[in-house]
Structure 1
Amino acid sequence: MMDVHDGVKAPKKLAHGIWPALCTAFDDKAEHVDPDRVRALVRALIEAGSNGFFVCGGTGEGRVMSVPERMSMAEIVADEVAGAVPLILQVGGTTTEDAVELAQHAAHVQGIDAVASVAPADRPNDLAAAVEHYAAIGGATKLPFYIYWLMGEADNRVTADGFLDAMKAVPNFTGVKFTDNNLYLFGQLIDRSHGSINAISGPDEMALPAMVMGAEAAIGSTYNIMPRLYLQMRAAFEAGRLEEAIDCQRRANRVIRILIEHGVLAGVKAMLGWRGTPVGPPRLVDPLSAAAEKALRADIDALDFEVA
């Protein structure tokens, strides 16, 4: 019996390893993208060994940036990376028209290797609307197209076979950034596609379990502040050193627990600032107060390992 995806040739897989969901660096009032700060963060993360970048996603605050700002961010990152690692640009979050415009622009930016999108903002729980949205974006460019799968969206209301069948409408569909705790469904997407989709995990706190299920890459917000820990985790897992990999995930989750208490995005941006790579305050959420940042720093300093 032919599976729902049989006969569909998937584009080349792009994402492998550990990819920071890149923070967008703003000025001190979060009014403008700061190119110098963006470049400094990119350089630091490449030096740390990052395998790629996911640009203008949730951590990158794409949905609260204008189309020109997102275009500028794509150009700045691509120019700084200069082909050293692959880049996926997230173009969704507002309207389909904006996403199509951003995808078309991305196709002309040397160094942007693929585009991705969340489900349409106005109809996130409608699978037919989501596929129509994805097809419009995928059809706007020949670049590989990735789904940014968020827990609770339409994507989460279908079977793996149903989703893969629907995605036949997008010929350049390449993979999924799966930001969902349902690892059974993640595994089913991999299994029912015979491993043809590029499977990327999203939840930082479940990076290692997702590797067990077959994730080829991981994209996450805390990779901005501790990429080396996740790179060690991935290397240990691939080498069969499972106790070491588990220890890495436990350490990462201790940091994540602290960030959840204080505010993840604001906390990550604050940590980058006090480490000498300032990225400005967030737009999507309120920045930490001076007292909250002091408390966050005390909690991080109390850990018995270096967060890096």
Structure 2
Amino acid sequence: MKKEWNSNKIFKGIFPALLTPITEEGIIRRDGLKKLIDWELYHGADGFYIGGATGECYSMETEAREELAKEALRAIDGRGRCIVHIGAYSVREGIRLARQAEKAGADAISATPPPVYRYGMEETVDYYRQLSEDVDIPMLVYVNYMLGEQDPTVLMEKVLELPGVIGMKFTRNDYYELFRISRLQGGNINLLNGPDETLLCGLVMGADGGIGSTYNIMPGIYKKIYGAFREGDMKSARNWQFQADNIIEVLLKYGQIRAMKFLFNRKGISLGKAEKPAVDLSDGEEQQLLCELEAAGYFREYPEMK
């Protein structure tokens, strides 16, 4: 039987795809996690997407992922909605993570399509059925290019019939696809934009908010995009999107995860290093990164990070 909510549009606003504070031995840095979450909420985050690709989930042991979800939810303490990503290399592991996320108090679970191999439509639908049917919290499908040539609208039409599936994180670049999907279920579908650089495009085409990697270091800028759009101020929304994109361009040059962790580490929010095989930034790269972020206007918005 399909689980029901008054509305599937549960998640609205800005949700950082949370970085994972972790030691080189794979232990979650609880103090760093608490400080990071507090910083994000102070600067406008509406909630979090925990344990996804930005959280380096596929480089972590299952036990560390479970610890991350538990400690993050404890640190959030009801101050924002939380989605836990439970996609894994096996369905068994995904089910284990889903059960643990529900027990820890997550508001929803999410999962990418099965990693590594390509599967057909019915296989993909069955994958989401197995992950969603075992828990009583909602699920958001993570639609990205791991679907291969499958039509995401057809997929979502099928998976929205599954118990608990309420919508999706859309991390693709064809916004006509997003528009088509937004009309499913009479429009009662929770859509969250994935590509940071085109949050405004997603909002225009039907998204209820966004989940993003670079939201970690500038949640307030994305909140301004979201707020301006909601108020009908498209000029301001576009200007803030361009500001974010200038900063994204710098981060991509140096590697988003290691660059963002560097910024937080140097300001006393201890996140550790990016998981191997990522290498540390050199001293020269660190200084150049700071110079380019200055030129992009980042420190004008976040002077405490300078």
Question: Is TM more than 0.5 here?
Answer: yes
- Specify the code of the residue in structure 1 equivalent to 2:124: A
TM (norm. structure 2) is: 0.91
**C-alpha distance in 1 between matches for 2:63 and 2:33:** 16
SS of residue matched to 1:146: strand
CA RMSD in angstroms comes to: 1.9
Percent sequence identity is 26
2:218 — aligned with what? 226
Any residues of structure 2 matched to 1:93-242 within 5 Å, and which? 93-110=88-105, 112-154=106-148, 157-158=150-151, 160=153, 162-168=154-160, 170-242=162-234
How far off is 1:135 after superposition? 0.7
CA contact (8 A) 1:131 1:169 kept: no
Distance 1:282 1:165, change over 3 A: same
Alignment of 1:18-97 (within 5 A): 18-27=14-23, 29=24, 31-97=26-92
Query: 3-state SS of the aligned residue for 2:186?
Result: coil
Structure 1, unmatched stretches of 5+, are 1-6
CA distance in 2, matches of 1:14, 1:118: 19
| 1:281 aligns with one of 261, 273, 279 | 273
Paired position in structure 2 for 1:267? 259
When residues 169 and 243 of structure 1 are mapped into structure 2, their CA distance, relative to the original with a 3 A threshold, is closer
Query: Tell me, what secondary structure is at the counterpart of 2:259?
Result: helix
Residue type at the aligned position of 1:275: K
Residues 30 and 282, structure 1, Cα contact 8 Å, conserved in 2? no
SS at match of 2:44: coil
Please, what TM-score do these two structures have when normalized by structure 1? Answer: 0.91
CA change 1:159–1:109 in 2 (3 A) is: closer
**Aligned 8 A contact 1:131 1:167 in 2:** yes
- Does the aligned pair in 1 maintain the 2:86–2:110 contact within 8 Å? yes
Q: 1:40 to 1:132 in 2, by over 3 A?
A: same
Whether the 8 Å CA contact 1:24–1:38 is kept in 2: the answer is yes
Cα shift readout 1:58-80 (whole Å, capped 9, x = no counterpart) = 11111111111111111101111
Contact 2:157 2:184 in 1 (8 A): no
Structure 1 CA distance for aligned equivalents of residues 167 and 93 of structure 2:
21
Deviation of residue 9 (structure 1)?
Answer: 5.8
Distance 1:15 1:199 in 2: 8
1: CA distance between counterparts of 2:27 and 2:146? Answer: 31
